[in-house]
Amino acid sequence: MNKYIIAVDGPSAAGKSYLSKQISDKLGIVYIDTGAMYRAVALYFIENNINIENKNEVEDALNNIDIKFDRVNEELHIFLNDEDVASKIRTEEIGMMASKVSAIKSVRYDMIDRQRKLAEDDSVILDGRDIGSVVFPNADLKIYLTADEKERAKRRLLDLKIKNPNCSFDAVLEDIKKRDYNDINKPISPLVKTDDAVLIDTTNMTKQQVIDKVILLLKERNVI
């Protein structure tokens, strides 16, 4: 079977990561969590006090960053310079910094290059903001996954309350709105639905319905 690429784009908390993980497991293909890659860069910048306004400082930092994915107890984990940072990168602070660093041209181009190299040898599914528009414009299937912003805030709140019971819906919704604005208005690789991407609005769909929809699309296009 020929190798293929599935691109999943969409706004924050639309369910991209969950969908990609499930499709990866179901089809036995590689999942490249591009959001985690930007979060790993954000974590490095924060821990090493990198001034993101300083171009040379940012570029020097990128040269000192090694990012790998590996499975730990059947779960895909991301490693930053050989440290498992899967749990460290899932904070709101890291999320906001990741949004900022992803708008930096040198960071964006560096991550795009890394993502393309990761996809050279295997069938892959990637999720992010610019996978179908920039990273893999010739992907075999492009999905634009979205949902109502209030629904996305509800989903994000459920995840966050596990670690922080005091976080509020209003705060999470405001964060969602800020991220949407930042993602759509980035000067480099903004969030956009390409003409050939299939729009899937998950607001009133179950997780299984979304998975089934993508599998059906892959079969209809003779990708699998």
Residue 211 counted as domain residue: yes
State phi, psi for 146 to the nearest 5 degrees.
Answer: -145, 175
Residue 222 counted as domain residue: no
**pLDDT value, residue 52:** 96
Res 178 pLDDT > 60: yes
Cα 141 to its chain centre, rounded Å, is 16
Residue 84 counted as domain residue: yes
Full residue range of the structural domain in which residue 58 is found? 5-216
Determine contact, residues 129/190, Cβ cutoff 8 Å: yes
**pLDDT value, residue 153:** 96
The tokens for 94 are: 């890291």
More confident call, 188 vs 153 = 153
Query: What is the value of pTM for the model shown?
Result: 0.87
Residue 223 counted as domain residue: no
The tokens for 56 are: 């040379």
Please work out, in degrees rounded to the nearest 5, the angle formed at the alpha carbon of residue 145 by the alpha carbons of 200 and 88: 155
What's the rounded Cα separation, in Å, for the pair 112 and 13? 22
Determine contact, residues 103/182, Cβ cutoff 8 Å: yes
Q: Considering the chain, what percentage of its residues have pLDDT values greater than 70?
A: 100
DSSP H helices, 70-206, are 92-101, 105-118, 149-163, 169-184
What's the rounded Cα separation, in Å, for the pair 88 and 86? 6
Q: How confident is the model at residue 1 (pLDDT cuts 50, 70, 90)?
A: low
Angstrom CA distances, 163 to 2, 26, 118, 130, 160, stand at 42, 29, 31, 29, 6
Q: How confident is the model at residue 150 (pLDDT cuts 50, 70, 90)?
A: very high
Express each pLDDT in 94-144 by its tens digit.
988 998 898 899 999 999 999 999 899 899 999 998 999 999 999 999 999
**pLDDT value, residue 121:** 87
**pLDDT value, residue 66:** 97
What CATH number does the domain containing 150 carry? Answer: 3.40.50.300
More confident call, 10 vs 121 = 10
Amino acid found at 150? K
Determine contact, residues 180/203, Cβ cutoff 8 Å: no
- The per-residue pLDDT of the chain, averaged, comes to 93
Residue 224 counted as domain residue: no
Number of domains in the chain: 1
DSSP state at residue 142: E
CA-atom Rg of the chain in angstroms: 17
24-33, 166-175, 212-221 — which one is most confidently predicted on average? 212-221
Cα 96 to its chain centre, rounded Å, is 13
Res 214 pLDDT > 60: yes
More confident call, 112 vs 182 = 112
Cα–Cα nearest to 76, from 19, 40, 104, 36: 36
Q: How confident is the model at residue 162 (pLDDT cuts 50, 70, 90)?
A: confident
What's the rounded Cα separation, in Å, for the pair 175 and 134? 25
State mean pLDDT over 158-168: 85
